[in-house]
Amino acid sequence: MMKKEITCIGCPMGCRITAELDGDKIISIEGYTCNIGKKYAQEELTVPTRMVTALIKVEGTHQPLSVKTSRPIEKSKIFDCLKEISQHTVVRPIHIGEVIIKNVCGTSVDIVATKELI
Ligand code: SF4
């Protein structure tokens, strides 16, 4: 048996969640105040995911474009995702929410612009 501690990021309360694991199997989860925390802990212990933010090169200027994933991706794919983003250059105009890279690293998640660049 192994114990793991997680801080829930579902809201500013930041509940400390304790989980007991037997290998990959979750035996118990305690310390959450609501079901968001329980779901977060289950995902974090099985397939942890994160939103990714980055900067992407813009042709003809040193001012980069800020981008993010359209939804969280598996933590194990973050490095590959950042590598693919670093290989792209965009051309103005770019509109907020515009898809810059579709299906990044085969994750079925898109990279979208988070600012307007005219
Ligand atoms: S368990 Fe619920 S109350 Fe606690 S930090 Fe997570 S979302 Fe907030």
CA 26 to chain centre: 23
Cα Rg for the chain, rounded, in angstroms?
18
What pLDDT is stored for residue 1 in this prediction?
A: 87
How much distance in Å is there from the Cα of 39 to the middle of ligand 1? 10
The first and second tokens of residue 51, run together, are 């939103």
Ligand 1 atom nearest 36 alpha carbon: 7
Q: Which CATH class is domain 53-113?
A: alpha beta
pLDDT tens-digit map of 22-78: 998 999 999 999 999 999 999 999 999 999 999 999 999 999 999 999 999 999 999
How much distance in Å is there from the Cα of 10 to the middle of ligand 1? 5
Q: What is the DSSP letter of 94?
A: B
How much distance in Å is there from the Cα of 9 to the middle of ligand 1? 7
Q: How far apart are CA 67 and CA 56, in angstroms?
A: 7
Ligand 1 atom nearest 7 alpha carbon: 5
